[in-house]
Amino acid sequence: MEKILDVLALGRVRFHELSMRGRVVLSQLPLNVTMLFICLLVALTDAREFDDPGFVTAQACALALLAIAAALPWDRIPYGWFLAVPILDFVPIGILRYSTESTLSGLGILGVFPIMWLAGSGYRPRIMVPIGGVAALFMVWVPQFLTGRATPHALASDLLVPFMLLAIGLGSSVMTLSAMAQQARVEELLERTENRERLLNTVLDTVDVGVLVLDDDGKSAYMNAKQRQLYVASLPNGVPTTRESELLIYRDGSDQPVPPEQRPLGRVIAGETIEHEVYQLGHGPDARTVSISGRQFSGASGNNAGTVFASTDVTEVVAAVHARDKFLGAMSHEFRTPLTNILGYAELLQDDTSLSPAAKSDLQIMMRNARHLNHMVDDILAASLTGDDAASIRLPLDLTELVRQTSDSFGPEATNRDITLDLAADTALPILGDRTGLVRILNNLVSNALKYSPAGTTVTLTAREEGEWAVCEVTDEGLGIAHEDMGRLFTRFQRSDAALRSGIPGTGLGLALAKEVAEQHGGELECTSEVGVGSVFTLRLPLRTAKQRMTLS
């Protein structure tokens, strides 16, 4: 009852939320209320009507129907039977209309209530609405027949009310069906959306990638199971916190927490996009190393709707890389001592005058191969020195001078290979850097250019200034690099098929290390190449600023 009153008062409860019985009572109520109102009108205008048995019967019938509506357990009765009530409603309306004909005319319009109910229920409207129309016809014709006034003229003049009620019924039926179709579509969409959300949640909780979504206010809107694990790993002493600045986030290999302004969440919320940045979360045995990517996403209207982060747990991968580098370092150390011995004794033997020319030539081959082996060991050793250590000591240097020295040292090898080595380096290019690392880059670029170029071609070394950059370019007219090899050119141990096929020796380490060293110096190493035409490797390093020059010189 309370709920019915709430619906009537247009409160929070909606009609479709009521029980079946509540809905039937509420659908019947407007007719009863109107009939009570008619009682009031009659009391005010012509109280004699109360003596009319027809009037009293109509009122009693209407109340009886209301009582039936309230008493029957409609939930347990087959659906649709409740429509007997509006069909029966035409009986009291018919009696009332007939009995008050002389005092209150036009009461047939009360048939609007049952016909609207029949149409609005949406239950078999094609049958129910015409039944309502027929009931309305009976409502007006039956009294004519019972009182013997059923002349063709009288019957025809009474047709308007049932026709009008039928039209109202059909109109509301059309609207109801359309609303019901729309509701069914909305419900279907809702169900599909819920299914999709459930699927998405299951997928996100199954994958091994941590996913975090923040809303446009930077508050956590979604976190999958893996992300919760990573979050727990980064808590200081396991105490929950929502502030990113309090989480234990380190750069891989550093003991100092990342300063708040450099932390990934804050940066991405401020509009930055980050990709595969490696951080350590927490410390001790439970620490995890993660590769984090994050970006903002926009809503339908194009405004910022929030931020998404994906964190891949790379703890095991990083541990494996460290183990590999340790192994490579230990292995190359072990190789170096016997190799140095071989080279030393071979050089001593070379001076031995008792050796025949053939033996000397064999010795030369042995020494060449031993030197090559030595270079490879050097590369492997350098590769095992990961981290920023290599570039930690920065000294004022002149890139032009380094380029010139490299050109000089490769002069003899270029002549041996019948390759012209050109140099275009005039102006000084002051930089800050680690000499060993930078010489290693230049040596690698020039030795590659010579190694992968046929005789009769030219290798050009250029050093020039370009805005804030000191630039060194190594250009060759050699093999060139195929498009499919370009993507992994700077990946460790990667060698092109062309290099492998041509039998040119190498480890595939030099360029990867060169790029690492260039980036440790705040610079970059790039390559453009065309198969059969040649390659251009460009090294860019930040020029030393005037301020740095003053403090260091």
The binding site for ligand ADP (CB under 6 A) comprises 444, 448-449, 452, 476, 478-479, 481, 489, 495-496, 499, 506-512, 535
**What does the alpha-carbon distance between residue 251 and residue 268 come to, in Å, rounded to a whole number?**
17
Residues with Cβ < 8 Å from 253, sequence gap 6 or more? 280, 387
Measured from each CB, the residue nearest to ligand ADP is: 506
Whichever of 172 and 496 has its CB closer to ligand ADP, that residue is 496
Work out how close the CB of 496 gets to ligand ADP at its nearest, in angstroms, rounded to a whole number: 3
Question: What is the 3-state composition of the chain as percent helix, strand, coil, each rounded to the nearest 5?
Answer: 60, 15, 25
Work out how close the CB of 304 gets to ligand ADP at its nearest, in angstroms, rounded to a whole number: 42
Work out how close the CB of 366 gets to ligand ADP at its nearest, in angstroms, rounded to a whole number: 21
Work out how close the CB of 527 gets to ligand ADP at its nearest, in angstroms, rounded to a whole number: 8
Work out how close the CB of 328 gets to ligand ADP at its nearest, in angstroms, rounded to a whole number: 15
The sign of the CA dihedral 548, 549, 550, 553 is positive
Whichever of 342 and 531 has its CB closer to ligand ADP, that residue is 531
DSSP collapsed to 3 states, 76-108 = CCCCCHHHHHHHHHHHHHHHHHHHCCCCCCCHH
**What does the alpha-carbon distance between residue 316 and residue 326 come to, in Å, rounded to a whole number?**
15
**What does the alpha-carbon distance between residue 265 and residue 236 come to, in Å, rounded to a whole number?**
17
State the CB neighbour count (10 A cutoff) for residue 220. 12
Whichever of 288 and 440 has its CB closer to ligand ADP, that residue is 440
Whichever of 133 and 480 has its CB closer to ligand ADP, that residue is 480
Whichever of 42 and 461 has its CB closer to ligand ADP, that residue is 461
Please measure the distance between the N-terminal and C-terminal CA atoms of the chain and give it in whole angstroms. Answer: 93
**What does the alpha-carbon distance between residue 553 and residue 551 come to, in Å, rounded to a whole number?**
6
Q: In what order do the strands lie in the sheet with 220-223?
A: 220-223, 209-215, 304-313, 288-298, 274-281, 249-251
- What amino acid is encoded at 196 in this protein? R
Match 């060993």 to its residue by tokens.
Answer: 436
Write out the DSSP string of 365-392: HHHHHHHHHHHHHHHHHHHH--SSGGGS
Whichever of 266 and 508 has its CB closer to ligand ADP, that residue is 508
Work out how close the CB of 514 gets to ligand ADP at its nearest, in angstroms, rounded to a whole number: 7
**What does the alpha-carbon distance between residue 85 and residue 123 come to, in Å, rounded to a whole number?**
14
Whichever of 21 and 495 has its CB closer to ligand ADP, that residue is 495
Whichever of 279 and 537 has its CB closer to ligand ADP, that residue is 537
Work out how close the CB of 523 gets to ligand ADP at its nearest, in angstroms, rounded to a whole number: 18
Work out how close the CB of 463 gets to ligand ADP at its nearest, in angstroms, rounded to a whole number: 18
